[in-house]
Amino acid sequence: MTVVTHSTRPRRAAYVPSADLVKDVLAGRAIAIARMISRAEEGYPEAAAALAELYRHGGKAHVIGITGVPGAGKSTLVSALIKAYAAEGRKVGVIAVDPSSPYSGGAILGDRVRMSETAAAGGAFVRSMATRGHLGGLTRATLQAVDVLDAAGYDPVIIETVGVGQDEVEVVTAAHTVVVLSAPGLGDDIQAIKAGILEIADIHAVSKCDKPEAAATVSALRGMLALGGERPGSRRAPPVLPVSAVSGERIGELKDAIGAHWAHLNESGERVERQRAMGRTRILGTARHLFQQKFQEAPETLERQIRAVAERRMDPAVAARALLGWEETP
Amino acid sequence: MRDANLAGESLSTGPAEAPDTIRVLVAKLGLDGHDRGAKVVARILRDAGMEVVYTGLYKTPKDVVQAAIQEDVDVIGVSLLSGSHVPLFRELGRCLREEGAGHILVVAGGVIPEQDYPALLEGGVDAIVPQEARSDLIVTTITDLVTARGRI
Ligand code: B12
Ligand SMILES: Nc1nc2c(ncn2[C@@H]2O[C@H](COP(=O)(O)OP(=O)(O)O)[C@@H](O)[C@H]2O)c(=O)[nH]1
Ligand SMILES: [Mg+2]
């Protein structure tokens, strides 16, 4: 028979109240920071007050979103940026989001593989997160995780998300500076157009410029942007920068472009607008999530409405309004 | 399931209760290029609903402990087929204690001869899974350990 051999000293650990973690988060202690992020992710009501306090301490970090199709080179680029910022003495926080399996709810989070060396050397804090497939929940949890890293003194804080899926795009758009990364040789010229994320870029980067095909992707992108493609509300045309995270080529230029965008936001007053947009996204995302939760708290009611709609005794719009308590259930 | 948990109704923090989502770091330590088993284990755990962070090859115990702390995992699952398990697990245990991360459980798998079990357990390993273990045994080993440790 196959048996597992166990230690005779079973481990126990106590639940540390979130209120007690706040001080350690502010002091930059990794265990407390990591735990606080988990509690944000799990949505423990017990953590709400602590997260609110951390939110008040935040607002200092430059939040950078990096998005692009899987395989574009996002994680490798983040790794190169960690190194570039570390050379200036800046400690980078990273939230790397990967999809959860729709079947099991589990996930394999592999972004860290590409970042581990620079993260260790550069004093970065890298946290992998799964999308967990809940409406609005990803936005809420990811941006609360950013708050925690911000309060702990990490600056900049980088969010890596795959540029597909409404929630993933919503999260990255809540950053101060959005970098859309396209890769040469991934099948079609401009992946950003296909994914519908051309307009969310403050900066376009083209990865793998150590490869000869990169030049074609850069010119295709420039040509496309000449026809318009600025971010709505932005008063600045997005630059197109080829980079190689592998050779390190032009990573400094990208870092400078990110810095220049931050300076532009601060000088032009656009930062205030961005902050407002961020607030809007967060409130609406959380509200959407709360609705979802409310429905799940009364599964029988929802089940009754579903049956009625399926049997065409009620129409979906009336059922939805009834769920929200805006209309009498007939 | 997960959304019901997010509704907060499940925060009855009894000591013998697993977290809503179990997080595991699947790690390879030292100069060991055998990564098939680690990848199989990662998939088994994902299919059981766990979130698995994979570290990649050739990591030092110190790197692995730092990653485990930042990722706030419940368990470090180490796959070792190189024969260097005794010193590597001892060092892993030492780093965990040094960093104050004694709440993180350690599960060992791969090619580990039985005569080395006492040395690993002494070094802080919580469970050793034999090579022929089937996926359900791998899953229950981790779930049971985390449940016994309780929510953190
Ligand atoms: C395939 C293989 C290779 C492949 C590896 C390919 C790869 N990318 O993984 C190649 C050809 C590259 C290779 C190379 C070598 N190998 Co080799 N290799 C094997 C072999 C035949 C099978 C391993 C395997 O992949 N099994 C399939 C996977 C799915 O099974 P698994 O790893 O055991 O994992 C399962 C369980 O153990 C468990 N598990 C594993 N890890 C964990 C972790 C946790 C937390 C849990 C819960 C469970 C768990 O779950 C898994 C799924 O069921 C073994 C022989 C054997 N019997 O294991 C030798 C073996 C591991 N290799 C051996 C040796 C010596 C070498 C070389 C040094 C040979 C050489 N002189 O060049 C090199 C070293 C390479 C390096 N850089 O490290 C020895 C190791 C001896 C030792 N430990 O004392 C073995 C045991 C062969 C032998 N009998 O001598 N090898
Ligand atoms: N040649 C080259 N390959 C790269 C570069 N950046 C990333 N890659 C490779 O592209 C693949 C995907 O990279 P990854 O960072 O995981 O992409 P992500 O899915 O967007 O996070 C990996 O095999 C990388 O090694 C680069 O600058 N040059
Ligand atoms: Mg990635």
Better pLDDT: A70 or B17: A70
Better pLDDT: A252 or A219: A252
Task: For residue A329, tell me if it sits in a domain.
Answer: no
Average pLDDT over residues A262-284: 90
Residues A115 and A222 placed together within one structural domain of the fold:
yes
Decide if the complex's ipTM is over 0.95: no
Question: In angstroms, what is the span from residue B51 Cα to ligand 1's centroid?
Answer: 24
* Contact assignment for B66 to A30 by CB distance below 8 Å: yes
* Contact assignment for A11 to B5 by CB distance below 8 Å: no
Name the residue of A76, A116, A118 whose CB sits within 8 Å of the most ligand 2 atoms, as the mutation to test its pocket: A76
The CA-to-CA distance between both ends of chain B, in Å, stands at 20
Ramachandran angles phi, psi of B53, nearest 5°: -100, 125
Residues A90 and A40 placed together within one structural domain of the fold:
no
Residues A259 and A177 placed together within one structural domain of the fold:
yes
* Contact assignment for B2 to A128 by CB distance below 8 Å: no
Residues A172 and A317 placed together within one structural domain of the fold:
no
Strand partners, A126: A94
Residue B12 above 80 pLDDT?
no
- Sequence-distant contacts of A231-236: CB under 8 A, at least 24 apart: A231/A178, A231/A199, A231/A200, A231/A201, A231/A202, A232/A199, A233/A270, A233/A273, A233/A277, A234/A202, A234/A270, A235/A268, A235/A270, A236/A202, A236/A261, A236/A264
Residue A244 above 80 pLDDT?
yes
* Contact assignment for B69 to A12 by CB distance below 8 Å: no
Atom of ligand 2 lying closest to residue A76 CA: 15
- Sequence-distant contacts of A322-327: CB under 8 A, at least 24 apart: A323/A295, A324/A291
Ramachandran angles phi, psi of A27, nearest 5°: -85, 0
Chain A residue numbers with beta carbons less than 8 Å from the beta carbon of B141 are 4
Ligand 1: residue whose CA is nearest its atom 10: B34
Beta carbons of A94 and A126 less than 8 angstroms apart: yes
pLDDT, tens only, A302-329: 899 899 999 999 999 988 888 888 866 5
Q: Where a domain ends, among A268, A290, A305? A: A268
Residues A161 and A299 placed together within one structural domain of the fold:
no
* Contact assignment for B149 to A12 by CB distance below 8 Å: yes
Strand partners, A179: A66, A203
B20-149 has which fold? Answer: Rossmann fold (3.40.50)
Q: Which of these, A87, A221, A97, lies nearest to A159 by C-alpha position?
A: A97
Residues with Cβ within 8 Å of residue A221, at least 6 apart in sequence = A182, A189, A190, A192, A204, A206, A240
Better pLDDT: A166 or A203: A203
Name the residue of A207, A210, A217, A250 whose CB sits within 8 Å of the most ligand 2 atoms, as the mutation to test its pocket: A207
Residue B8 carries which DSSP code? Answer: I
Residues A123 and A139 placed together within one structural domain of the fold:
yes
Average pLDDT over residues A229-252: 82
pTM metric for this prediction = 0.91
> Does the CB atom of residue B139 touch ligand 1 within 6 A?
no
Residue A194 above 70 pLDDT?
no
- Which of B47, B70, B134 is closest, CB to CB, to A30? B70
Give the Cα separation of A229 and A197 in Å (integer).
Answer: 10
Give the Cα separation of A209 and B145 in Å (integer).
Answer: 47
CA distance A229 to chain B (A): 36
Residue B17 confidence (pLDDT): 64
- For chain B, the domains span 20-149
* Contact assignment for B152 to A14 by CB distance below 8 Å: yes
- Which of A13, A109, A120 is closest, CB to CB, to B103? A13
Domain of A25?
Answer: 17-56
Chain A residue numbers with beta carbons less than 8 Å from the beta carbon of B3 are 134, 137, 292-293, 296
C-alpha torsion A4→A5→A8→A14, nearest 10: -40
Most confident of A7-11, A97-101, A117-121, A239-243: A239-243
Residue with token string 């074609």: A216
Residues A169 and A206 placed together within one structural domain of the fold:
yes
- Give me the DSSP letters along B33-98: ---HHHHHHHHHHHHTT-EEEE--SSB-HHHHHHHHHHTT-SEEEEEE-SS-HHHHHHHHHHHHHH
Strand A5-6, strand A93-98: pairing:
unpaired
Residues A68 and A49 placed together within one structural domain of the fold:
no
Question: In angstroms, what is the span from residue B60 Cα to ligand 3's centroid?
Answer: 22
Domain count of chain A?
3
Chain B residue numbers with beta carbons less than 8 Å from the beta carbon of A110 are 54
Task: For residue A275, tell me if it sits in a domain.
Answer: no
pLDDT, tens only, B39-51: 999 999 999 999 9
Residue of B47, B53, B66 to mutate, testing the A interface (most A Cβ within 10 Å of its Cβ): B53
CA distance B142 to chain A (A): 11
> Does the CB atom of residue B41 touch ligand 1 within 6 A?
yes
Structure tokens at A319: 């059922």
- Which of B4, B137, B152 is closest, CB to CB, to A296? B4
Residues A178 and A39 placed together within one structural domain of the fold:
no
Residue B42 confidence (pLDDT): 96
Question: In angstroms, what is the span from residue A208 Cα to ligand 2's centroid?
Answer: 7
Closest-CA residue of B relative to A15 is B152
Residues A211 and A288 placed together within one structural domain of the fold:
no
Residues A184 and A251 placed together within one structural domain of the fold:
yes
Judge whether B5 is closer than 8 Å to chain A, CB to CB: yes
Residue with token string 């008040």: A56
Task: For residue A287, tell me if it sits in a domain.
Answer: yes
Residues A230 and A290 placed together within one structural domain of the fold:
no
Beta carbons of A3 and B141 less than 8 angstroms apart: no
Task: For residue A11, tell me if it sits in a domain.
Answer: no
